[in-house]
Amino acid sequence: MTARSSQILVQPAYDRQALKTRILHLGFGAFARAHPILHTDLANEVTGGDWGVAVARLNSGEALLSELDTAGRFYTVAETDDAGLMARRVACVTQTLHPRRDGPDAIPDLIAAADLRIISLTVTEKGYCLAGDTLDLKHPQIQCDLAAQTTPKTAIGTIVEGLRRRRVARQGGLTVLSCDNLPANGNMCRNAVLGLAHARDRELAEWIAANCRFPSTMVDRIVPALDDDARATLHEVLGRDDPNGILCEPFRQWVIEDDIANGCPDWAAAGAELVRDVAPYEEMKLRMLNGAHSALAYLGALHGHATIADCMADDVFRDAAYRLMLTEQAPTLSMPDTVDLAGYASQLINRFSNSRLHHKTTQIAMDGSQKLPQRLLSSCADNLEQGRDWPLTALAVAAWMRYIRGVDENGVAVPVQDPMAGDFARLASAGDGVQYVESLLDLDQVFPPTLAEQSGFRAAILRAYSRVEAMGARGAILESLTQGEGGT
């Protein structure tokens, strides 16, 4: 590890004893630690307040929660780039919860507690169990939650069961705050919660709709999964291990719809913006940042680039990311006049170039079936409608199709982690080329039929796929950049 120019460790100065558990956070993964929970910690620090957070995980990571308890419920967030490293000990966690360790009632009962004001979530796109904009009532896990209502397994089932108990306990409503990368994430979350509540008890659904708020949020911070290098960096800063510590970029942004039920920490004091309409910011971030991330993930991983920073060190990939953002994504957005999209794209290229973070292309490649629609396909639809070219987006979608065959261009296996991995393996084993691409385009869970039925769309993806096959990802990008064609 190369030495950094500066290294600082900040300890919280506020009174932890005064904290009350007012927030339940579902999904205590890397992003949650470095973003929403950190904002609460900073708000407590800057303007006071008694906002304590109970952190819960529903599936894996039980041992990590116990390790957090052992560490006095402190963990470290270390922000790093070439300028240095600044680490903060986060102190606002009051409690850890896991249904296997603490029993099935622990989380629903906390949701019913008088002090609770907010349930926040980082459960990834698939955690909402959606089909399109609404809850997928046929989803196997939702079916389980309907069959065993008081011992739910999903985040949505847990929230609904908790809110049922809250209503029985005659407590007031609260805010359910989605912090996942979905468009209109508040509405999606509301649809999922109300969909399940309605299937259980119509009056419960009505109570939730009348008493709870589901603001949308745009969340942004690049927080790779912890690897050995990051662990070693944290050890160097702290003088010991921190299994819940995290290494991330210095940048963070949080735009929250100003529609809160019953109070929240002074997140604005921690840098968040509360606005009337989050939609333009969400779309900008999902299409320009996440769209470019997914494009780099599939094209880069196929070529053999291990990280996003490796892609940025390769001119061809860096130019492609910038051009994708500016010429294929930005024109599909309608932003307030104050937003400078060219400046935003340049800033993203700088953020992607942070070589202190090892953000793996294969990590971002995960769950493509859940990510492609909002990151890449909605802009295809807009561009087709407006008659604009979208060659790099076509290459990105084609690279996804090639990536989910499970082997890169060098014959090295790549992980295909996706709720639809079984379907992909079946389609891949049935053949390759035109027939394979056509069979993927027919998956309406990924490709909205209104898009997939357009012959111009299908032809562009088929052409892009054959270029990626024939020239490799880098060759296909290069051709597209130099000839200004390739997809449409």
* Interface ranges with ligand CS2 (CB under 6 A): 181, 220-222, 289-290, 293, 363-364
Give the nearest distance from C-beta 222 to ligand CS2 in angstroms: 4
Give the nearest distance from C-beta 285 to ligand CS2 in angstroms: 7
**Cβ proximity to ligand CS2, 226 vs 462, nearer residue:** 226
Largest pairwise CA distance in the chain: 66
**Cβ proximity to ligand CS2, 284 vs 427, nearer residue:** 284
State the sign of the Cα–Cα–Cα–Cα dihedral 370, 374, 376, 378.
Answer: positive
Give the nearest distance from C-beta 298 to ligand CS2 in angstroms: 11
**Cβ proximity to ligand CS2, 249 vs 408, nearer residue:** 249
What is the token pair recorded at 227?
A: 């690897």
**Cβ proximity to ligand CS2, 348 vs 468, nearer residue:** 348
What is the token pair recorded at 295?
A: 């494009």
Nearest of 260, 99, 52 to residue 176 by alpha carbon: 260
DSSP assignment of 56-94 equals: E-SSS-HHHHHHHHHTTT-EEEEEEETTEEEEEEE--EE
Contact 247, 78 (CB under 8 A): yes
SS3 365: coil
What is the token pair recorded at 375?
A: 């990151």
**Cβ proximity to ligand CS2, 125 vs 408, nearer residue:** 125
Give the nearest distance from C-beta 318 to ligand CS2 in angstroms: 17
Give the nearest distance from C-beta 145 to ligand CS2 in angstroms: 26
Contact 384, 455 (CB under 8 A): no
Partners of 119 in the β-ladder:
24, 176
Task: Report the 10 Å Cβ neighbour count for 99.
Answer: 20
Residue nearest to ligand CS2 (CB): 293
Instruction: Name residue, tokens 């999903």.
Output: 154
What is the token pair recorded at 167?
A: 């209503």
Distance, CA of 190 to chain centre: 18
**Cβ proximity to ligand CS2, 110 vs 357, nearer residue:** 357
**Cβ proximity to ligand CS2, 21 vs 363, nearer residue:** 363
Give the nearest distance from C-beta 297 to ligand CS2 in angstroms: 7
Contact 294, 320 (CB under 8 A): no
Q: DSSP H helical segments within 78-201, as ranges?
A: 99-102, 106-111, 140-147, 155-168, 185-200
CA pair distance 193, 461, nearest whole angstrom: 36
Nearest of 307, 419, 402 to residue 362 by alpha carbon: 307
SS3 201: coil
Give the nearest distance from C-beta 293 to ligand CS2 in angstroms: 4
State the sign of the Cα–Cα–Cα–Cα dihedral 238, 265, 181, 202.
Answer: positive
Give the nearest distance from C-beta 249 to ligand CS2 in angstroms: 9
Contact 122, 109 (CB under 8 A): no
**Cβ proximity to ligand CS2, 221 vs 356, nearer residue:** 221
Give the nearest distance from C-beta 261 to ligand CS2 in angstroms: 26
**Cβ proximity to ligand CS2, 112 vs 222, nearer residue:** 222
Give the nearest distance from C-beta 344 to ligand CS2 in angstroms: 13
**Cβ proximity to ligand CS2, 33 vs 98, nearer residue:** 33
